[in-house]
A and B are shown apart, each in its own frame.
Chain A
Amino acid sequence: MKMTVRALLGASAMLALTGAAFAQTTITVATVNNGDMVRMQGLMADFNAKHPDITVEWVTLEENVLRQNVTADIATGGGQYDVITIGTYEVPIWAKQGWLESLNDLPADYDVDDLLPAIRGGLTVDGNLYASPFYGESSFVNYRKDLAEKAGITIPDAPTWDDIKAAAAAMTDTEAGIYGICLRGKAGWGENMAFLTTMANSYGARWFDENWVPQFDQPEWKAVMTDYVELLTKYGPPGASNNGYNENLTLSLQGKCAMRMDATVSAGSLTDPAQSEFADQVGFALAPDMGLGKRANWLWAWSLAVPASSDAKEASKTFINWATNKDYLALVAAKEGWRNAPPGTRTSLYSNPEYAALPFAKMTIDSINAADPTNPTTKPVPYVGVQFVAIPEFAGLATSVGEIFSAALAGQKTVDEALAEAQALAVEEMTSAGYIK
Chain B
Amino acid sequence: MARAVSTRRKVFYTAAAWSVALLIFFPVFWTILTSFKTEASAVASPPQLFSADWTLDNYAEVWGRSDYPRFFWNSVVISVGSTLLGLIIAIPAAWSMAFVPGNRTKDLLMWMLSTKMMPAAAVLIPMYLIFQRTGLFDTRTGLVLALMLMNLPVIVWMLYTYFKEIPSEILEAARMDGASLGKEIIYVLTPMAIPGIASTMLLNIILAWNEAFWTITLTTVNAAPLSAFIASFSAPQGLFYAKLSAASTMAIAPILILGWFSQKQLVRGLTFGAVK
Contacts and interface: CB of A to CB of B under 8 A. Distances in A.
Given A72-B128, A76-B129, A33 B239 contact: no
A430 to B, nearest CB: 25
Given A41-B65, A72-B125, A80 B239 contact: no
A250 B45 contact: yes
Contacts of A126: none
Contact of A33 (B132, B224, B232): B232
A425 B217 CA distance: 31
B216 A65 contact: yes
Interface residues of B, number: 29
A34 interface: yes
Contact of A80 (B39, B138, B233): B138
Contact of B45 (A73, A75, A254): A254
Contacts of A75: 125
Contact of B132 (A38, A62, A63, A76): A76
A34 B235 contact: yes
Nearest to A265: B237
Given A250-B45, A275-B40, A80 B238 contact: no
A78 B137 contact: yes
Interface string B39-65: 110011100000000000000000001
A245 B220 contact: no
Kindly name the residue among A30, A33, A58, A80 whose own CB sees the greatest number of chain B CB atoms within 10 A. A33
Nearest to B229: A60
B39 to A, nearest CB: 8
Nearest to A66: B231
B232 A78 contact: no
Interface in B236-254: 236-240
Contacts of A69: 216-217
Interface in B24-49: 39-40, 43-45
A59 interface: yes
Given A61-B216, A65-B216, A246 B40 contact: no
Contacts of B235: 32-34, 62-63
Nearest to B241: A246
B220 A80 contact: yes
Interface residues of A, number: 41
B170 interface: no
Given A68-B217, A80-B220, A81-B220, A250 B233 contact: no
B132 A78 contact: yes
B236 A76 contact: no
Contacts of B124: 72
Interface in A1-39: 28, 30, 32-35, 38
A144 interface: no
A59 B217 contact: no
A244 B236 contact: yes
B221 A57 contact: yes
A38 B65 contact: yes
A246 B217 contact: no
Given A78-B132, A81-B220, A250-B45, A62 B234 contact: yes
A246 B235 CA distance: 9
Contacts of A190: 236
A251 interface: yes
Contacts of A80: 137-138, 220
A265 B236 CA distance: 14
B211 to A, nearest CB: 14
Contact of A245 (B43, B137, B236): B236
Interface in A231-266: 244-246, 249-251, 253-254, 256, 263, 265
A80 B224 CA distance: 13
B220 A246 contact: no
A35 B132 contact: no
A35 B240 CA distance: 9
Interface string B129-164: 100100001100000000000000000000000000
Nearest to A64: B236
A78 B237 contact: no
A112 to B, nearest CB: 27
Interface of B: 39-40, 43-45, 65, 124-125, 128-129, 132, 137-138, 216-217, 220-221, 224, 228, 231-240
- In order of increasing CB-CB distance, the 3 nearest A-B pairs are A60-B232, A62-B234, A33-B235
26 contacts: A32-B235, A32-B237, A34-B238, A35-B238, A38-B65, A42-B65, A57-B220, A58-B221, A61-B228, A62-B231, A62-B235, A68-B217, A72-B128, A75-B125, A76-B129, A80-B138, A244-B236, A246-B236, A246-B238, A246-B239, A250-B45, A253-B43, A254-B44, A263-B237, A275-B39, A275-B40
Interface of A: 28, 30, 32-35, 38, 41-42, 57-65, 68-69, 72-73, 75-76, 78, 80-81, 190, 244-246, 249-251, 253-254, 256, 263, 265, 269, 275
Given A59-B228, A61-B234, 7 more contacts: A33-B232, A63-B236, A65-B216, A72-B125, A253-B40, A254-B45, A269-B239
